[in-house]
Homo-oligomer: A and B are copies of this chain.
Amino acid sequence: MKENVVLPDSIQCRERFRQTFKEIPDDDLKQLFTQITVKDYKKGSIVYKEGTRIKGCYFVYSGIVKIFQTGKEGKEQIIKFEQEGDIFGFRSVIRQESACTSVETLSDSVLCHIPDFALLHLIKSNPDFAYDLMQIACKELGDSNKCIKDIAQKSVKARLAEILLLIANDFGLENDGSLKLNLTQEDLSNFVGTATETVIRLLSDYRTDGLVESKGRKIKLLNIEKLKKIAGY
């Protein structure tokens, strides 16, 4: 166990924040960041749970978090993963509602907590920021709509292929070509929206068809084109 994780200072956080929100003047940013709390989370920590009242949103300084909803009998449906530079939880702030998702860290992570009043103030006072945030919300909205159609219409086989491609795209590859985002089969199946066993069987099918190489949770895509075809593009 490492101790004494050194948290990034306010300036480092601001710099990273600026990479996502490019057009915010320094003054606004400085003001915002006096109100932010930086905290590190061990892998597997719960950041917040569905239904709780969060008094702000979060900015991912480093690490990866999983955003999910819990259904009957505790089965998770993973909505998305967020990584360095992403912001999440703003929906609840804007709507002034309790969280509609739960969040858990998939790796050791450093998150910046932006209190609701600070976020709302910036939105109301800086149209550029409001616009940037709206961009993000609208992107997520488009993704969600697509996701609805896919879950409703595509076979699990197609969706798994699609999600592998999406993960490769969003999180990139290791040097050896395997997916950087390293999920348990359970998380993978909860993302696809199916049973763990099904994912395992399908991956094994892909393997025999020479589409992927995989042992355990390490997955390498061998034939992107064919996978795209299976995914239905």
Contact: B71 with A149, CB < 8 Å? yes
Please classify the interface of chain A as helix (H, G, I), strand (E, B), loop, or mixed, using the class held by over half of its residues.
helix
Do A69 and B137 touch across chains, with their CB atoms under 8 A apart? no
13 of the cross-chain contacts (CB-CB < 8 Å) are A71-B152, A75-B153, A77-B149, A79-B148, A123-B127, A123-B131, A127-B127, A130-B130, A130-B134, A133-B134, A134-B137, A148-B148, A151-B151
Contact of A135 among B94, B127, B144 (CB under 8 A): B94
Determine which of B79, B125, B137, B232 lies in contact with A127 in the assembled complex, contact meaning CB atoms within 8 Å. B125
| A67 smallest CB distance to B (angstroms) | 9
Instruction: Report the bound CA distance from A91 to B152 in whole Å.
Output: 22
Q: Kindly state whether residue A72 has any CB partner on chain B within 8 Å.
A: yes
* A209 at interface by CB-CB < 8 Å: no
Q: Which residues of A contact B (CB under 8 A)?
A: 69, 71-72, 75, 77, 79, 90-91, 94-95, 97, 100-101, 123-128, 130-131, 133-135, 137-142, 144-149, 151-154, 193, 232
- Taking a contact as CB atoms closer than 8 A, the residue among B75, B133, B139, B148 that contacts A144 in the complex is B148
